[in-house]
Amino acid sequence: MIITALHTASFVFAFAAAGFWFASTTVKMPVEITTGWGGSGGSVQELGDAVRKQGRRSAFAAAFAGLSALCQGVVLLLAQLNGSAG
């Protein structure tokens, strides 16, 4: 029962990680940065905001990937302790 729950949690965490990593790729970045006079690009502030947003999404993805790996590690540990293949 616990093994099934850990496998399920691992799947959910891995799926969430994939979703957050995909979401980080959809953050709209300025095509060019305008400095000085005129220009049609975005500001440095817009770039910074986009990079922070992308970073937050990637951080959540990494956390979920870590939780998925932790679940799989516990499954392997329990299998070793029980003497089975899990």
pLDDT of residue 81: 92
Ranges under pLDDT 70 in the chain: 35-41, 84-86
For 5, half-sphere exposure in the C-beta direction (CA atoms, 13 angstrom radius) is 4
**Most distant CA pair in the chain, distance:** 71
pLDDT of residue 37: 65
pLDDT of residue 69: 98
Cα separation, 23 vs 21, whole angstroms: 5
Domain chopping of the chain, boundaries: 1-6+15-26+42-86
pLDDT of residue 73: 97
Q: Got the DSSP string for 40-61?
A: SSB-HHHHHHHHHHHHHHHHHH
